[in-house]
Amino acid sequence: MIDFENITYNYSHQSGVYDIDLEIQDNEFCFLVGPTGSGKTTLLKLLYFDLFPHKGKVNILNYSSKNVKKSSIHKIRKKIGVVFQDYKLLKQRTVYENIALPLHINGVGRKKIKQLVREALDLTELSHYSKKFPDELSGGEQQRVCIARAIVKNPDIILADEPTGNLDPTTGHKILKIFEQINKEGTCVVMATHNYKLISDKTYRVIELNEGRIVSG
């Protein structure tokens, strides 16, 4: 489902990711770890075609970075839920509207949207915040809105960039549980994290990056 073939992406001659070969299967749950600046976000951006490799190719959901058309990118993104490291919530929209947006984009009917958003709010314990605006929430609450927005469309793949960075350990574990549940239902989950503690008692595959290169996994 996800296949990196000898990928290099340079921001400059000193930073980027290099010679990445990596396969991630359908239904897999894996962690992407490594120190700050090691390339985790860059790898995720290559996966949802926010960046295109300078060398090699990325294949995802039967699309290839070599020949994907600009007009197809939105189709791929319909099937991918992204939890951004910097949230990217729409400030002028309520929590409810932020979470509903990907469903509107995917053409889901109003009644179904209501049901799915309620479920996502419940799951992320945000039901009481549905009418609030992002600026009225704490960092951890905004992070949960971002998680709800990623999971609400039942994507084939979830790419979560440091999704527990702003959460206390108990909430972090709850979020991990939500991702585990979604993974059991068939969604591939790739989660970048610094939080070694959170994953230390897990048996999932851990892909480790250092200075833009895969060192294990």
Ligand X SMILES: Nc1ncnc2c1ncn2[C@@H]1O[C@H](COP(=O)(O)OP(=O)(O)OP(=O)(O)O)[C@@H](O)[C@H]1O
Q: Which parts of this chain interact with ligand X (CB under 6 A)? A: 11, 15-16, 34, 36-42, 85, 194
Strand arrangement, sheet containing 157-161 = 80-83, 157-161, 188-193, 29-33, 205-210, 213-216
Q: Which is nearer to Mg ion, 40 or 153 (CB)?
A: 40
Q: With both helix axes pointing from N to C terminus, report the angle between 95-105 and 110-123 in degrees, rounded to the nearest 10.
A: 130
Q: How far is the CB of 131 from ligand X (least distance, A)?
A: 32
Composition of the chain by helix, strand, coil, percent to 5: 40, 25, 35
Count the residues of the shown chain that bind Mg ion, applying the rule CB under 5 A.
Answer: 3
Q: 42 contacts which partner out of Mg ion, ligand X, none, CB within 5 to 8 A by kind?
A: ligand X
DSSP 8-state code for residue 80: E
Q: Which is nearer to ligand X, 87 or 96 (CB)?
A: 87
Q: Which is nearer to Mg ion, 152 or 163 (CB)?
A: 163
* Cα distances (Å, whole numbers) of residue 171 to 1, 129, 165, 166: 30, 16, 11, 9
Q: Which is nearer to ligand X, 130 or 193 (CB)?
A: 193
Q: 36 contacts which partner out of ligand X, Mg ion, none, CB within 5 to 8 A by kind?
A: ligand X
159 SS3 class: strand
Q: How far is the CB of 38 from Mg ion (least distance, A)?
A: 9
A 10 A CB-CB count for 12 gives 6
Q: How far is the CB of 39 from ligand X (least distance, A)?
A: 4
How far is 193 from 163, CA to CA, in rounded Å? 7
Tell me whether residue 213 is exposed, middle or buried, using C-beta atoms within 10 angstroms of its C-beta: 0 to 12, 13 to 18, 19 or more: middle
Q: How far is the CB of 112 from ligand X (least distance, A)?
A: 35
Q: Which is nearer to ligand X, 42 or 130 (CB)?
A: 42
Determine if 143 is a binding residue for Mg ion (CB under 5 A): no
With CB atoms as reference, the residue minimizing the distance to Mg ion is: 41
Task: Residue 176: name the closest of 153, 193, 155, 152 by CA.
Answer: 193
Q: 37 contacts which partner out of Mg ion, ligand X, none, CB within 5 to 8 A by kind?
A: ligand X
Q: 11 contacts which partner out of Mg ion, ligand X, none, CB within 5 to 8 A by kind?
A: ligand X
Q: How far is the CB of 11 from ligand X (least distance, A)?
A: 3
How far is 192 from 38, CA to CA, in rounded Å? 11
Residues that bind Mg ion (CB under 5 A): 40-41, 85
